[in-house]
Chains A and B, each alone.
Chain A
């Protein structure tokens, strides 16, 4: 059984249905990407998995580590070991770096050491007492990942971690994804518009278009098949 199983998922907002029968599996220790254009349904898929109030899930099932997520309260999902690093990072701007991490650790069942996070992310060490709002986008992204990692998750959902970041910071985020996957055994589902990031980090890729999973491909095929990329990603 896969760690994360999404079956025949229908979901949408008041304005209309967005996801149509989405099927998706992520095995333990894999890095899988979900690729698609703007508005294809990537973030809606992520939000459905973590039990956000919106979108409304109208059909299908989502199972994580044997637990039925659709029957689980959103605030209980992190304690199953599934953690979200959301689009636009969403660090708590008025809280300091330490407070952001401490907050997440405090509500986890089996958290990692907060101090260890600063060894893990030396960039954050110098700005422990800085309010998150006064950090750069790249620093905030690292904080968002640290905030997730401190909860000691089995799996992290990474929603567009490289959006709007300078190329050298994108490289750093790619390295971090490698490290937490390979050295720390964390499974990752990555949502990206940036194909290069997905190619550099993921083992397998789902292509989503207008709310349908249209293909599932290996990194090799995605790299070589330009028509495929052109058709579904416009690159």
Chain B
């Protein structure tokens, strides 16, 4: 029997069991909600904010990986710069949050372009490891520069008054700034979707992701698009940084922390699939926040205390990745045949 028919069989069996799995997950979430509705909504919003932040970083990482074959480990550093530029603009120069929300991502975009023009563009035709190492080096340089300029201690900015209040969600209240983050992230994702799927520019980028050389044979100047996409990816990560810096704060290792999980998001979503990155980012964001709660509720309901594994949240992204890759090596929405 060929491997493909074996795989088809495996998937068929899985989708038969799929309904049961989803049913069980829904039931667990319902139990958790019933036990502690306020906390559940809190954690759900937390997962949404976290997931959206992951998505904002993952979009750029995924585009650059698909287009150039480079795992841009410095992408997390760009996210971090978004936060620190916000601090610089707001706390040190006294500008308003709204100005920072626009200016900081653009500045991050320029850093991204400098990164591409000065370093990474020379490595496109080298083995992938060269680009990876160079990007890793860039990440460390930016991180240490950040430490040198803004110091080692965590920083935060004063949330603008209009976002500082809480929104009443019946069972709990949620800081408006977190809801604002979710809305801005959702708008950015929508804008990226429209750009990639509905414009001629997006069409040429999608073609370039699939076959860069052939796109060139059709007269498309791919290097110019690489710069533009790098700029765009950096701007989006920068927006994520502004939102994170405003809602939570910042420290010089936040880029490193996020880039690892973001890479997990891209792999789970399927390399080259932006839609996959969005789904995987939200999935992992929610899983990180809801899993501990679900397990604790389960421990409460059943009386089996061992179910509430301490610190499980940090492990969840990797557990999700292992599970998804075992069943589908190309990721949720990866290109057919990739890694299979």
List the interface of chain A (C-beta within 8 A of B): 50, 52-53, 73-79, 84, 86, 90, 92-95, 99, 102-104, 106-108, 133, 147, 151
Name the CB-closest residue of B to A84. Answer: B217
Does B217 contact A50, Cβ atoms closer than 8 Å? Answer: yes
Does A147 contact B206, Cβ atoms closer than 8 Å? Answer: no
Closest chain-A Cβ to B196's Cβ sits at a distance in Å of 12
Q: Most B CB atoms within 10 A — which of A53, A73, A75, A90?
A: A75
Does A107 contact B213, Cβ atoms closer than 8 Å? Answer: no
Is B168 an interface residue, CB under 8 A from the partner?
no
The 7 closest A-B pairs by CB, nearest first: A78-B219, A107-B219, A90-B214, A75-B221, A92-B207, A92-B210, A106-B200
Against A, the Cβ 8 Å flags (1 = close, 0 = not) of B260-282 are 00000000000000000000000
Query: In the assembled complex, which residues on chain B have CB atoms less than 8 Å from the CB atom of A53?
Result: 125, 213
Name the CB-closest residue of A to B217. Answer: A84
CB under 8 Å from chain A, chain B span 194-229: 200, 203-204, 206-207, 210-211, 213-222
A-B contact pairs, 8 of them (CB 8 A): A73-B221, A74-B216, A75-B221, A76-B219, A92-B206, A94-B335, A103-B207, A108-B219
Complex-state Cα separation, A13 to B206, whole angstroms: 29
Does B217 contact A103, Cβ atoms closer than 8 Å? Answer: no
Given contacts A92-B206, A103-B207, contact A75 B213 (CB under 8 A): no
The residue from A73, A93, A147 contacting B218, defined by CB atoms under 8 A apart? A147
Query: In the assembled complex, which residues on chain A have CB atoms less than 8 Å from the CB atom of B336?
Result: 133
Closest chain-A Cβ to B219's Cβ sits at a distance in Å of 4
Given contacts A99-B203, A107-B204, contact A86 B217 (CB under 8 A): yes
Complex-state Cα separation, A78 to B214, whole angstroms: 12
Complex-state Cα separation, A211 to B203, whole angstroms: 38
> Contacts A76-B219, A86-B217 given; 20 further ones with Cβ under 8 A?
A53-B213, A74-B216, A75-B222, A77-B219, A78-B217, A78-B219, A92-B206, A92-B211, A92-B214, A94-B335, A99-B203, A103-B200, A103-B218, A103-B220, A104-B219, A106-B200, A106-B203, A107-B218, A107-B220, A133-B336
Given contacts A53-B125, A90-B211, contact A151 B219 (CB under 8 A): yes
Does B203 contact A102, Cβ atoms closer than 8 Å? Answer: yes
List the interface of chain B (C-beta within 8 A of A): 125, 200, 203-204, 206-207, 210-211, 213-222, 335-336
Query: In the assembled complex, which residues on chain B have CB atoms less than 8 Å from the CB atom of A133?
Result: 336
Closest chain-A Cβ to B212's Cβ sits at a distance in Å of 10
Name the CB-closest residue of B to A73. Answer: B221
Closest chain-B Cβ to A112's Cβ sits at a distance in Å of 14
The residue from A50, A77, A95, A106 contacting B206, defined by CB atoms under 8 A apart? A95
Q: Most A CB atoms within 10 A — which of B125, B210, B219, B222?
A: B219
Closest chain-B Cβ to A189's Cβ sits at a distance in Å of 15
Complex-state Cα separation, A25 to B334, whole angstroms: 45
Query: In the assembled complex, which residues on chain A have CB atoms less than 8 Å from the CB atom of B203?
Result: 95, 99, 102-103, 106
Complex-state Cα separation, A151 to B125, whole angstroms: 29
Query: In the assembled complex, which residues on chain A have CB atoms less than 8 Å from the CB atom of B222?
Result: 75
Name the CB-closest residue of A to B125. Answer: A53
Complex-state Cα separation, A77 to B220, whole angstroms: 10
Closest chain-B Cβ to A135's Cβ sits at a distance in Å of 14
Given contacts A53-B125, A102-B203, A103-B204, contact A94 B219 (CB under 8 A): no
Query: In the assembled complex, which residues on chain A have CB atoms less than 8 Å from the CB atom of B218?
Result: 78, 103-104, 107, 147, 151
Does B125 contact A74, Cβ atoms closer than 8 Å? Answer: no
Closest chain-A Cβ to B135's Cβ sits at a distance in Å of 22
Given contacts A53-B125, A106-B203, contact A75 B211 (CB under 8 A): no
Closest chain-B Cβ to A145's Cβ sits at a distance in Å of 13
Closest chain-B Cβ to A7's Cβ sits at a distance in Å of 23
Closest chain-B Cβ to A170's Cβ sits at a distance in Å of 23
Complex-state Cα separation, A94 to B214, whole angstroms: 14
Complex-state Cα separation, A107 to B219, whole angstroms: 6
Does A86 contact B214, Cβ atoms closer than 8 Å? Answer: yes
Does A79 contact B219, Cβ atoms closer than 8 Å? Answer: yes
Closest chain-A Cβ to B340's Cβ sits at a distance in Å of 15
Query: In the assembled complex, which residues on chain B have CB atoms less than 8 Å from the CB atom of A90?
Result: 211, 214
Complex-state Cα separation, A99 to B221, whole angstroms: 18
Complex-state Cα separation, A23 to B99, whole angstroms: 63
Query: In the assembled complex, which residues on chain A have CB atoms less than 8 Å from the CB atom of B214?
Result: 86, 90, 92
Does B220 contact A75, Cβ atoms closer than 8 Å? Answer: yes
Closest chain-A Cβ to B289's Cβ sits at a distance in Å of 33
Complex-state Cα separation, A76 to B219, whole angstroms: 6
Complex-state Cα separation, A84 to B211, whole angstroms: 14
